[in-house]
Amino acid sequence: MFYEFRQYTTHPGKRAEWVKFMEGEIIPFQVSKGMVVAGSFVDEEDENLYYWMRRFKSEKERERLYKKVYESKEWTEYFAPRVGEYLDRKKIVVKRIVASPKSVIQ
């Protein structure tokens, strides 16, 4: 099992709108396709940073779920075009992380 930890930089003044879009539309859509979203976070110090995490049982599961989400008509026609309204896509950071043995997030 591993987590995908993502850091997004929103355009100035757009973070609140982005969080509303993520939590109200993107996350529910991805969960409906089988994604496990472990958390959604805002940075306390930088008003333009947003983080979120998804959990995957295996690389095979990640590939299957990515296909279900990112190749869907809903994603390509509705969600993807709107992402650029909120995010600086050049600054997206994605990390794959594995919980250490004593982590409570196992």
The domain that contains 29 carries what CATH number? 3.30.70.100
Question: Does residue 7 lie in a domain region?
Answer: yes
pLDDT in tens, 76-102: 999 999 999 999 999 999 999 999 999
> What are the φ/ψ torsions at residue 51 (nearest 5 degrees)?
-130, 150
Full residue range of the structural domain in which residue 8 is found: 2-97
So what's the pLDDT on residue 106?
Answer: 75
Contact between residue 58 and residue 70 where contact means Cβ atoms under 8 Å apart: no
**Nearest residue to 91 via CA among 39, 45, 51, 42:** 51
Mean pLDDT of 34-47: 98
> What span, in angstroms and rounded, lies between the C-alpha atoms of 97 and 32?
23
> What span, in angstroms and rounded, lies between the C-alpha atoms of 33 and 99?
24
pTM score, two decimals?
Answer: 0.93
Question: Does residue 28 lie in a domain region?
Answer: yes
Question: Does residue 102 lie in a domain region?
Answer: no
